[in-house]
A and B are shown apart, each in its own frame.
Chain A
Amino acid sequence: MAIKLNLLPPEKAVSAPVGRILKTVRTLNLILISGFIIFTLGVGGFFIFTTIQLRNYNNSVENLKTEIKSRQISEQQIILVKDRLIKIKQAKNSPSVYGKIADVQGLLSVLGSDASLAELDLSPQKIDMTVLFRTNSSLANFLQSARASDSFKSVILTSFGYNPASGYLVTFNLI
């Protein structure tokens, strides 16, 4: 049977509660040291991993930059195309009479041989039209077409004249 020997002088011996605390502290020390080593290795490892990742990204970015620089002509062309398209679109949105030409042409197509266009004033905002009708029927026919047309929001008859020799001279304002 093993004999327990304590060679420490009795005044150096620690009391039982202090002994328990010391035991707990030593265990804690051990746990914390292990935890610290794992933590440091983890932080270091993650740092190395992130640094490698950064280096890879930087290499890739540099390669891409070199490739893009070699395609500078294509880049210039696409920038130029986009710039021209923006400006063309902007210019095309400026007011013009193009939208009204087909509408007026459609309306004028109903004028027969007994009617003629005296004057036409076309602007982006409105259309002023003076037509000479030699017969009642041609005037009625024209008015009916203007009324039936979806192209104009309003058709205003601004002047109406009659001359027995020439016929009806009518001015319209179409919006």
Chain B
Amino acid sequence: MFKNLPDNIRIPIVATAPLLGILVLFVIVGKFGFSKISEVRLSAQKAAKDENVLSQKLEVLNAVDETIENDVNILTSTLPYANPALIASSQVKLIAGQNAVIVYGLKSGAESVESNLSKVLLNFEVVGTREGVFEFMKKLQLASPLMLIEKVKISEAEGEVRSTIALKSYWGALPAKLPALTDQINGLTTEEENLVSEILTYQQPVFVVLSAEPDSGKTDPFIP
């Protein structure tokens, strides 16, 4: 190729060729190597982040103790996933009895939605002493399901207090799906733990479980 060139030019060119070749190789290896390394490093960084999130998640899950099952039941009873009008009515009557007041005309109103919560209105009258009626209202605040008094009208005559109460009780749908496996979850904050502790002291509704009737001794149940 360079045979026609004089030696003074050809020899330096031939001597410089490897130099250029190495420089080109430097560029090729550098470009390819660094792109591959940065690719692997990015994947490693993402994997490290995932590992960190998952470790933290596992730590939170390991810290979940057996009492959480009871917490779940109490919290679901405080804010149920379905209309709690019936349970709330039962609680109103139960708490009224405990505070020596009488409940009249308990009626459940229409359901409505308040942001992502649903609520039902209960209207009723309570008759008793002033002390009894006020204690009754205070106890409603500390009972499950969650019941908030919206309005109260009290009239008093000859020591008997008649109170008309409008109360609302809430419910909300359960979470439909779990977060992605690599999504972070946090344990309960101090504020949340305090709220759980408060709710655990709420008066819970009493459910009567009917046991199966024993065998009546009849072979044919249609014969009287």
Chain B 27-49 per-residue mask, 1 if CB under 8 angstroms from chain A, else 0: 00110011011001101100110
Question: CB distance B15 to A26 under 8 Å?
Answer: yes
Question: CB distance A105 to B134 under 8 Å?
Answer: yes
Question: CB distance A58 to B185 under 8 Å?
Answer: no
Main SS at interface, chain B: helix
For A116, the chain B residues whose CB sits under 8 A away are 156
Give the distance to chain B from A36, nearest Cβ to Cβ, in Å. 5
| Interface membership of B125, Cβ < 8 A | no
Known: A54-B43, A79-B175, A116-B156. A74 touches B68 (CB 8 A): yes
Q: Which 9 A-B pairs have the closest CB atoms?
A: A57-B47, A43-B33, A64-B54, A84-B75, A96-B148, A120-B154, A122-B152, A91-B170, A54-B44
Could you list which residues of chain A lie within 8 angstroms of chain B, going by C-beta atoms? 11-12, 14-15, 18, 21-22, 25-26, 28-29, 32-33, 35-36, 39-40, 43-44, 46-47, 50-51, 53-54, 57-58, 60-61, 64-65, 67-69, 71-72, 74-85, 87-92, 94-98, 101-102, 104-105, 108, 116-124
Closest to A71 in B: B61
Number of interface residues of B (CB under 8 A): 78
Question: CB distance B58 to A71 under 8 Å?
Answer: yes
Q: Could you list 16 A-B pairs, sorted by A, with CB under 8 Å?
A: A32-B22, A53-B44, A65-B54, A65-B181, A79-B185, A83-B172, A83-B174, A84-B72, A90-B117, A96-B148, A96-B150, A101-B149, A117-B130, A117-B154, A120-B155, A121-B152
Give the distance to chain A from B159, nearest Cβ to Cβ, in Å. 8
Give the distance to chain B from A30, nearest Cβ to Cβ, in Å. 10
Q: How far is the CA of A94 from the CA of B119 in the complex (A)?
A: 11
| Interface membership of B151, Cβ < 8 A | yes
Known: A36-B22, A88-B195. A78 touches B40 (CB 8 A): no
For B48, the chain A residues whose CB sits under 8 A away are 57
Q: Which of A72, A116, A119, A122 has the most CB of B within 10 A?
A: A122
Q: Which of B62, B79, B114 contacts A88 (CB 8 A)?
A: B79
Give the distance to chain B from A29, nearest Cβ to Cβ, in Å. 5
For B154, the chain A residues whose CB sits under 8 A away are 117, 119-122
> Could you tell me which residues of chain B, from 49 to 63, have a CB within 8 Å of some CB in chain A?
50-51, 54-55, 57-58, 60-62
| Interface membership of B106, Cβ < 8 A | no
| Interface membership of B82, Cβ < 8 A | no
Question: CB distance A122 to B151 under 8 Å?
Answer: yes
Main SS at interface, chain A: helix
For A82, the chain B residues whose CB sits under 8 A away are 188, 192
Closest to B75 in A: A84
Q: Which of A14, A21, A97 contacts B152 (CB 8 A)?
A: A97
Question: CB distance A43 to B29 under 8 Å?
Answer: yes
Q: Which of B29, B57, B61, B130 contacts A108 (CB 8 A)?
A: B130
Give the distance to chain A from B17, nearest Cβ to Cβ, in Å. 9
Q: How far is the CA of A96 from the CA of B114 in the complex (A)?
A: 14
For A75, the chain B residues whose CB sits under 8 A away are 57, 61, 178, 185
Q: How far is the CA of A22 from the CA of B13 in the complex (A)?
A: 9
> Could you tell me which residues of chain B, from 136 to 162, have a CB within 8 Å of some CB in chain A?
137-138, 141, 146, 148-156, 161
For A96, the chain B residues whose CB sits under 8 A away are 148-150
Question: CB distance A61 to B47 under 8 Å?
Answer: yes
Q: Which of B25, B117, B187 contacts A36 (CB 8 A)?
A: B25
For A76, the chain B residues whose CB sits under 8 A away are 178
Question: CB distance A50 to B50 under 8 Å?
Answer: no
Question: CB distance A94 to B58 under 8 Å?
Answer: no
Q: How far is the CA of A171 from the CA of B141 in the complex (A)?
A: 28
| Interface membership of B7, Cβ < 8 A | yes
